[in-house]
């Protein structure tokens, strides 16, 4: 058992020291603390093609998270998943692979495999609200079973005592020595009710998590309503691990509101905000608004990269239409052209309609 086996030194000194350090980071307003911005995992959108084009054009992201990998008993990763975390496809990104499972052995096997690829930090998905995932007790569905979740972590952390990261070169090209894996969690506040959160947090606090990323909604919310900042505040106050905020940061003003309410908060994960405005983090960091030209270049590079990845324009057009579902808010007056994008049957039609949009220029909220 992980807890029973932990050494006296670790329990008395290590954990206390770690606890104090992390409590400080979460609850103290420190102007000098570096702010960290993460790209949220978004299945079907922020795969390696998006991430790599984004990195080349914008960058400025401290950690990229892969959309979830769902390890299976027979084969740890599917070809598509393996491709997404292939180090050659992720050069220059600080990539954290994310795993979706409720089976600790599958988690350990996937961690071991990812370690051989050079990944030292692995993230557990406890937030996916999908009706194909939740009934299996995975993603946000796992939050319904706090006792099982506790046993899961217990087994994972004791298993990781025997499975060290083997050492190797990471995706930033750095030599990383052999050592313990780092495990982070991305969670929602509960399944049905944010009142479930304190019990979940007590479980998270029993383990040496690298960080706790909180999407401030419960599963039943899916993506509707407003993030619950009240309950998020509990995470920030009481989490042993450093806390990262996630949910509905679409503009620099949204970020400011959070910063004013939680001055000590210094980790932010953004998903739809970045997909809809790829220059958002640079706007937040130094006030520089996204230029139409930057968006055009990003858009056309991304399309070309998808064509190369899939070997055909049909799938690339499909992906770009998904992107436009988010990017449209930068062009609030262009309903007609947006319709043309949605109806585009091939790459030429899509690029022509997009070019018309870019000629009008970015107008939306930034």
Question: Binding residues for ligand FMN, per CB under 6 A?
Answer: 40-45, 67-68, 98, 125, 127-128, 186, 215, 246-249, 270-273
Closest CA to 317 of 352, 363, 286, 284: 352
Residue with tokens 């949220």: 40
**Nearby residues of 107 by Cβ (< 8 Å), 6 or more positions away:** 71, 99, 101, 122, 124, 152, 156
Least separation in angstroms between CB 1 and ligand FMN = 28
> Quick one: 249 or 295, whose CB is closer to ligand FMN?
249
Between 272 and 299, CB nearer to ligand FMN: 272
Cβ-proximal residue to ligand FMN, closest one: 271
For ligand FMN, which is the closer residue by CB, 153 or 245? 245
Q: Shortest gap between Cβ of 218 and ligand FMN (angstroms)?
A: 13
Q: Is 51 or 186 the residue whose CB approaches ligand FMN more closely?
A: 186
Q: How far is the CB of 256 from ligand FMN (least distance, A)?
A: 16
Shortest Cβ 66–ligand FMN spacing (Å): 8
C-beta of 52 vs 337, nearer to ligand FMN: 52
Nearer to ligand FMN, 64 or 207 (CB): 64
What CA–CA distances, in Å, run from 5 to 10, 122, 158, 181, 208? 10, 23, 8, 18, 14
Choice between 203 and 270, CB closer to ligand FMN = 270
Residue 138 or 240: which CB sits closer to ligand FMN?
Answer: 138
C-alpha distance from residue 196 to each of 230, 234, 341 (Å): 13, 12, 43
3-state secondary structure the chain: CHHHHCCHHHHHHHHHHHHHHHHHHHHCCCCCCCCEEEECCCCCCCCHHHHHHHHHHCCCCCEEECCCECCCCCCCCCHHHHHHHCHHHHCCCCEECEECCCCHHHHHHHHHHHHHCCCCEEEEEECCCCCCCHHHCCHHHHHHCHHHHHHHHHHHHHHHHHCCECCEECCCCCEECCECCEEEEEECCECCCHHHHHHHHHHHCCCCCCCEEEECCEHHHCCCCCCCHHHHHHHHHHCCCCEEEECCCCCHHHHHHHHHHCCCCCEEEECHHHHHCCCHHHHHHHCCCCCHHHHHHHHHHHHHHHHHHHCCHHHHHHHHHHHHHHHHHHCCCCHHHHHHHHHCCCHHHHHHHHHHHHHHCCCCCC
Residue closer to ligand FMN, measured from CB, 170 or 248? 248
């Amino acid at each position: 058992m992980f807890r029973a086996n932990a050494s006296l030194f670790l329990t008395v000194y290590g954990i206390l020291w770690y606890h104090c350090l992390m409590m400080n980071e979460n609850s103290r307003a420190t102007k000098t603390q570096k702010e960290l911005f993460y790209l949220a995992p978004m299945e079907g959108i922020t795969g390696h093609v998006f991430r790599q084009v984004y990195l080349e054009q914008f960058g400025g992201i401290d950690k990229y998270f892969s959309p979830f990998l769902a390890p299976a008993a027979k084969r740890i990763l599917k070809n598509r998943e393996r491709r997404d975390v292939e180090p050659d496809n992720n050069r220059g990104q600080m990539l954290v692979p994310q795993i979706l499972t409720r089976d600790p052995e599958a988690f350990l096997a996937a961690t071991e495999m990812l370690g051989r690829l050079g990944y030292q930090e692995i993230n557990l998905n406890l937030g996916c609200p999908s009706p194909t995932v939740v009934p299996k007790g995975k993603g946000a569905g796992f939050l319904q079973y706090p006792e099982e979740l506790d046993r899961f972590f217990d087994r994972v952390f004791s298993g990781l005592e025997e499975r060290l990261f083997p050492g190797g070169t990471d995706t930033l090209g750095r030599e990383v020595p052999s050592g313990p894996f780092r495990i982070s969690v991305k969670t929602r506040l509960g399944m049905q009710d944010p009142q479930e959160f304190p019990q979940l947090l007590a479980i998270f606090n029993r383990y040496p998590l690298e960080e706790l990323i909180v999407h401030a909604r419960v599963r039943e919310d899916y993506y509707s309503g407003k993030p619950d900042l009240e309950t998020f505040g509990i995470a920030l106050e009481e989490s042993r691990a450093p806390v990262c905020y996630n949910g509905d940061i679409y503009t620099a003003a949204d970020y400011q509101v959070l910063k004013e309410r939680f001055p000590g908060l210094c980790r932010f994960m953004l998903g739809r905000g970045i997909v809809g405005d790829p220059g958002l983090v640079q706007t937040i960091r130094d006030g520089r608004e996204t230029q139409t030209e930057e968006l055009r270049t990003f858009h056309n590079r991304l399309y070309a990269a998808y064509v190369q990845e899939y070997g055909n324009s049909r799938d690339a057009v499909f992906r770009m239409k998904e992107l436009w579902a988010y990017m449209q808010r930068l062009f609030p007056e262009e309903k007609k052209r947006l319709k043309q994008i949605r109806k585009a049957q091939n790459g030429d039609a899509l690029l022509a309609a997009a070019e018309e949009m870019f000629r009008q220029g970015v107008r939306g909220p930034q």
